[in-house]
Amino acid sequence: MHGWGYEGMGGWTFGFMTVGMVLLWILIILAIVALSRYLLRESRSAAPTGARTPATVLSERFARGEIDTKEYRERLEALRETGHG
């Protein structure tokens, strides 16, 4: 081993270095997995950008013909009075 510049380093040293590198890579991989799980969970729990409000649902029902103009206006007015429109 004199030609490689490793004088004074025994076999145990290389063994510990190998184990240390394997543990380091395991920790790096676990950190990446944990971070991606955290980010995926956060993105799922975020409210969708096109969240449907009661007024939106009412408008959709009116557009589909489920309710007539009179009922639409009455319900929309009721939503506005309660602060949901």
List pLDDT tens digits, range 15-72. Answer: 899 999 999 999 999 999 999 999 988 777 665 666 788 999 999 999 999 999 999 9
Residue 10 has pLDDT above 80, yes or no: no
| The model's pTM | 0.43
Encode 21-40: b = buried (16+ Cβ within 10 Å), e = exposed.
Answer: eeeeeeeeeeeeeeeeeeee
* Cα–Cα distance, 79 to 81 (Å, whole number): 5
Q: What are the structural domain ranges in the chain? A: 8-45, 52-85
Provide the greatest CA pair distance for the chain: 96
